[in-house]
Structure 1
Amino acid sequence: MDITVQELKERLDKGEDLNLFDVREPNEYEDDNIGATLIPLGDLPYRLDELEGMEDEEVIVHCRSGARSARAQQILEENGFTNVRNVIGGMLAYRAQ
C-alpha cells in the first residue's frame, strides 16, 4: 500500500515517530532530506538486520521519484515485511506539494 506525499507531510508535521527510510544515494540525501534514515537501495539487501523487529510495523520508503522505493518495497516484502508503504512521486512530489 502506498502513501501520498500529503499524508506523509501531515504526519511529519504532527511529529509522528515514523519508520522512514530514504533509498537514494548519499549525495542526493545530503542535498535534500526530510529526516529519514538513509539506506541506499543497493545496500538494502545487506542491511536488513538494521530493520529487525519492524517486520509487522509500518515501514515507509522514499526516493527521488518513487521508482527505487518501489523496488525497496518489493525487497522488504520478499523478506517478510508486511506493511511497507512507498511514497508516491518521491521527493519530487514532496517538494512540489
Structure 2
Amino acid sequence: MPVMHFRIQWPDGDEANCYSPSLVIGDFFTPGHAYALEDFVERSRQALGIASERVREKYGFACSAALDQLAQIEHDAARFRDRPDATVKVIEFS
C-alpha cells in the first residue's frame, strides 16, 4: 500500500511529521493551506479513518499506526483549543 507523510505546522510554529498508510490524505488537505484547528482535526479523523479502513480491507486488520497518528494529532491540538483563531498549516506531502 502506498504511504504518505505530511508535514504540518501548529499554531505556535512547531512542526510535526505525520503518517498515513494511504494517499487519501491528498483528498482532504492541500499543501500550503492553513486550516482552522477544529477543521484540521476533523479532516484528520476522516482521512486517517479511511486510511485505516483501506488497510483493513487489504490485510484484514485496521492500521494501528494511522490510529496512533490520529491520537497524536488530537492530543497536540488540545493545546490550542483555547485559541479561537488557531490554524494548522499543511506544509508538504512526501
- Is TM (by shorter chain) over 0.5? no
Indicate the structure (1 or 2) with the bigger Cα radius of gyration: 2
- Bin for the TM-score computed over the shorter chain: 0.3 to 0.5
Task: Specify which structure has the higher proportion of strand.
Answer: 2
TM-score scaled by length of structure 1: 0.34
TM-score scaled by length of structure 2: 0.35
